[in-house]
């Protein structure tokens, strides 16, 4: 049995879970900025969010994955996958956890971001770069705000295009 492949895939799954929680957090902040990418970028610059522990932890795991130890031992990759699961657990259990208003725009933005991340990771696994797939998702987790901005921009394109249509994706429309 190929333990390296199994642990690399578990790293991808753990990283995708952490990414989903980070995207949820970023979406809450984007909602507070009225879905404005400019206001969100200003908030990122004014706050310490770009170098917070939520962003540094996946980067540290990424560096650990790049070491020779991770390439030689499947147990190191398994430990990194378990350690990266601490990020979403602590974020979800946090007292400062703000609730997301569930809107079509928020759901579409998060789905677009996760599909892009999962598709890229899957293509890397299929190309026999299983450990690199986990490293890629860890990188996306560290910079999830960029993924959130991109997904919000894509959803915004459809929202503006369908402005006259009643089926448009309205940021205030709750589900």
Do the Cβ atoms of 107 and 155 come closer than 8 Å?
A: no
pLDDT category at 98 given cuts 50, 70, 90 is low
Give pLDDT tens digits for 112-164. 889 989 999 888 888 888 888 889 999 999 999 899 999 888 888 877 655 54
Per-residue pLDDT at 128: 82
Closest Cα to residue 31, out of 155, 116, 158, 161? 155
Q: What is the pTM of this model?
A: 0.82
Calpha distance 1→8 (Å, rounded): 13
Give domain limits for the chain: 3-161
- Residue-wise pLDDT for 46-95, tens only, equals 887 777 888 888 989 989 988 888 888 889 999 999 999 998 988 888 76
């Amino acid at each position: 049995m190929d333990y390296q492949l199994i642990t690399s895939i578990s790293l991808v799954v753990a990283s995708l879970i952490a990414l989903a929680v980070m995207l949820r957090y970023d979406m809450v902040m984007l909602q507070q900025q009225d879905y404005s990418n400019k206001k969100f970028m200003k908030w990122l610059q004014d706050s310490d969010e770009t170098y917070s522990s939520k962003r540094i932890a996946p980067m540290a795991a990424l560096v650990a994955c790049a070491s020779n130890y991770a390439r030689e031992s499947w147990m190191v990759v398994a430990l990194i996958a378990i350690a990266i699961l601490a990020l979403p657990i602590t974020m979800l259990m946090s007292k400062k956890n703000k609730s997301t208003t569930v809107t079509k725009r928020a759901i579409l933005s998060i789905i677009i971001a996760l599909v892009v991340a999962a598709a890229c990771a899957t293509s890397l696994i299929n190309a026999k770069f299983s450990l690199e797939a986990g490293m890629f998702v860890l990188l996306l987790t560290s910079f999830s705000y960029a993924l959130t901005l991109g997904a919000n921009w894509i959803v915004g394109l459809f929202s503006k295009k369908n402005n006259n249509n009643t089926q448009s994706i309205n940021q205030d429309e709750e589900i």
